A and B are shown apart, each in its own frame.
Chain A
Amino acid sequence: MKRNTRKPRPRAVETEARSRPAQQPRGKINAYFTHHLWVLVSSLGQLWRTPFSTLMTTAVIGIALALPAGLHVLLNNVQQLSSGWDDSAQVSLFIKQGVPEERIRSLADKLRDWDGVAEVRYISREQALAEFRELSGFGDALDSLAENPLPAVLVLRPTLTQAEPVPMEQLLERLRQLDAVDQAQLDMEWVRRLNGIIEVGKRGALLLGALLAMAILLVVGNTIRLTIYARREEIIITKLIGATNAFIRRPFLYTGFWYGLMGAIVAWLLVAVFLGLLSAPVSRLSSLYDSQFRLGGLDFITSLSLLLSGIFLGLVGSWLAVGRHLQAIEPT
């Protein structure tokens, strides 16, 4: 008697099969998006079910992304700091001995009209001596000299910034050719050198980023490859039922997307924590220098590009793995 309950009941068969051949499924476009959303969520669910391996992969991606991102932020900060000094860049014109004061003053007036010169300040030999006596502490030694050894100086503040190194060179060259000028010296030459070093550092961060991006591709690709082989049976069955390659590819691509996104979030947190840990000592250091400098954090653009590059790398990595390994799995 009990077996009767298990007996197949063919009631609905006739009406069901009459409506063949398979009519256009209703709302296909809508169903397509629903399906995408479903795969998006369910691939996240798959990752959630293996928290340890997901965490490991995400951490590797996060660290690999955090290195170039952190370096980039730090270099930006150094550049920020040094750009503050650009404004204080000045040219000291050491005037030849024996040039009368009137000529120096008229030269100063002339220079004020030049392009690229914002301000000219005259320091006479006497002023220079007084300043030196006050600051250096060698006052007594100076007294023993018969003559004031210091030249008169014109201090120029250029309107040009360090961002345009060529015009600055031209200005210096023009100044050096003046008759009365013994020597024209750009102070803060080292700011330019620092900027040069920053440029090298930025290029280095870019190259490091490229290398680590390749590492991320390999990590994601390998993880997806393992997932593909773990789900080999499922892939074969769905292929037999009529799944297209796009259908089978989809969950793996979304898995790559999640890895990339979560890795980027981990990287963002790592950089944020690092900057947080650095900001207090940096503030203390800069206050010792009477500076208002504060360590800048991850701005919106940097955060956005970090997230986007994480997602991009995750997708490309899984795409490469899927392209290579999915074709190889065919029902036999």
Chain B
Amino acid sequence: MIQFDNVSKRYPGGHEALSGVSFHIQPGEMAFLTGHSGAGKSSLLKLIALIERSSRGQVFVDGQNLSRLKGRHIPHLRRKIGIVFQSHNLLFDRTVFDNVALPLIIAGYHQSEVGRRVRAALDKVGLLNRDKAYPITLSGGEQQRVGIARAVVNRPPLLLADEPTGNLDPELSREIMGLFEEFNRVGVSVLIATHDHDLISRLDHRLLTLSGGRLVRDGRTGELAASA
């Protein structure tokens, strides 16, 4: 689903955020991406969603070579990727329902289909009764769940999350992770960038560790506790 072939990202000014990163995440796989801040986690996610382009090497998403993807096709790539942000990135002048409906409206779904899917997505994250609320009235955990509902409402084959539990207490974080596992169980590929070692050490998934822009470890989360 995601394939990196010797990928480097150098920013103007010479800072190399990623150097020679190679890995392959299979369809239906769930993986964590960890490393200190500045290790290149965000840069790696940005390359997948084509928010930035690699300086060297090639990135494939769902079989598509992103370095050959023209600018006008980027929206269609992004529709295949559900992105969950640390800062939620919700629109605060719209209701929960309208926020979650946005990807469907963008993709041109029919009104009745939109309503059905939005309710299904909100039901999944347990916020069906808050659909008319405005995001500002929700707690941090609820806002994050709205963000997740929005990311999955279009049923993308790939889910990316950048520090999805960054601002949440441990219990809420476990709930959120549980949600991601639910989606993974039905075939969605999931890649989660996080530095929350306590949380991921309790789960059993693939773990990619970045350090100084290099992929220094590619193993299982269970090994983390042993090596630490």
Contacts and interface: CB of A to CB of B under 8 A. Distances in A.
Interface string B64-105: 000000001001111100010000011100000000001101
Given A9-B126, A11-B123, A242 B175 contact: no
A242 B89 contact: no
Given A27-B110, A242-B107, A12 B91 contact: no
Nearest to A20: B155
A8 B111 contact: no
A14 B186 contact: yes
A8 B125 contact: yes
B106 A16 contact: no
B124 interface: yes
A245 B150 CA distance: 20
A248 B120 CA distance: 26
A22 B79 CA distance: 10
A244 interface: yes
Contacts of B79: 22, 241-242
Given A25-B109, A234-B91, A242-B107, A17 B155 contact: yes
Contacts of A17: 155, 183, 186-188
B164 interface: no
A193 interface: no
B126 A6 contact: yes
B97 to A, nearest CB: 14
A278 interface: no
A31 B108 contact: yes
Contact of B113 (A20, A25, A32): A25
Contacts, number: 118
Given A8-B145, A10-B182, A16 B120 contact: yes
Contact of A8 (B75, B126, B155): B126
B72 to A, nearest CB: 8
A240 interface: yes
Nearest to B50: A331
A247 interface: yes
A67 B91 CA distance: 42
A8 B178 contact: yes
B124 A13 contact: yes
A329 to B, nearest CB: 13
Contact of B124 (A9, A26, A237): A9
A12 B123 CA distance: 8
Contact of B182 (A13, A19, A35, A330): A13
Interface string B125-141: 11000000000000001
A2 interface: no
B154 interface: yes
Contacts of B154: 22, 242
Contacts of B208: none
Given A35-B105, A241-B102, A10 B179 contact: yes
Contacts of A35: 105, 108
B126 A7 contact: yes
Nearest to B104: A25
Contacts of B76: 242
Interface in A197-251: 233-234, 237-245, 247
A285 to B, nearest CB: 56
Given A7-B175, A237-B91, A247 B155 contact: no
B158 to A, nearest CB: 11
Given A17-B183, A20-B157, A241 B110 contact: no
A12 B120 contact: yes
Contacts of A98: none
A159 interface: no
B215 to A, nearest CB: 23
B51 interface: yes
B192 interface: no
A191 B52 CA distance: 71
Contacts of B49: 240
A241 B178 contact: no
28 contacts: A6-B126, A6-B175, A8-B145, A8-B175, A8-B178, A11-B123, A11-B124, A12-B120, A13-B186, A16-B124, A17-B155, A22-B79, A22-B154, A25-B107, A26-B109, A31-B108, A31-B109, A234-B91, A237-B89, A237-B91, A240-B49, A240-B83, A241-B78, A241-B102, A242-B78, A242-B103, A242-B106, A244-B75
Interface of A: 3, 5-14, 16-22, 25-28, 30-32, 34-35, 233-234, 237-245, 247, 330-332
Given A22-B79, A22-B155, A242-B103, 20 more contacts: A7-B175, A8-B178, A10-B124, A10-B182, A16-B155, A18-B186, A25-B113, A26-B109, A27-B110, A28-B110, A31-B110, A34-B111, A35-B105, A234-B91, A237-B90, A240-B51, A241-B106, A242-B77, A243-B75, A332-B52
The 4 closest A-B pairs by CB, nearest first: A242-B79, A242-B78, A17-B186, A10-B182
